Amino acid sequence: PAYPQPCSLTGWWENDLGSKMQVFKIGNDGTFSGEYHTAVSSAKKPIQPSPLIGSQHLDEDGQCTFGFTVNWKKFSDSTAVFVGQCFRGDDGKEVLHTSWLLREKVDSEPEGWKATR
């Protein structure tokens, strides 16, 4: 059977809140890196582009799953992980559906319960 053109994560993406990410070249093993430009932050320091690193399944049917980690090291003590799937609509347009977890640094282990959202 003929498979649709696979989704490519390479390039610029923007979400509903105006955050943007750029994914650089995808390696033959599915690994990639890039930068995340968040539009939302509770940090007191000014937002700066943050490095991301991830991995994508290179599925034949094109509807690949992927995950990546963003290190907010330039302006925050938190780390975020995203997981998702890339879909290509009948119109040929690619869309990413993702979920995320954000871990903020806390001062002690008993405070850990409130550190992940």
Task: List the domain boundaries for the chain.
Answer: 11-114
pLDDT less than 70: residues of the chain: 1-5, 62
Alpha carbon separation from 108 to 60, 115, 117 (Å, rounded): 46, 10, 17
Question: Per CATH, the architecture of 11-114 is what?
Answer: Beta Barrel (2.40)
Q: Are 66 and 86 in contact (CB under 8 A)?
A: yes
Q: Are 65 and 55 in contact (CB under 8 A)?
A: no
Query: 3: closest CA among 69, 72, 58?
Result: 58
**pLDDT at 1 (0 to 100):** 45
Cα angle for residues 56, 62, 65 (degrees, 5° grid): 35
Question: How confident is the model over 43-76, as pLDDT tens digits?
Answer: 788 888 999 999 998 777 767 899 999 998 888 8
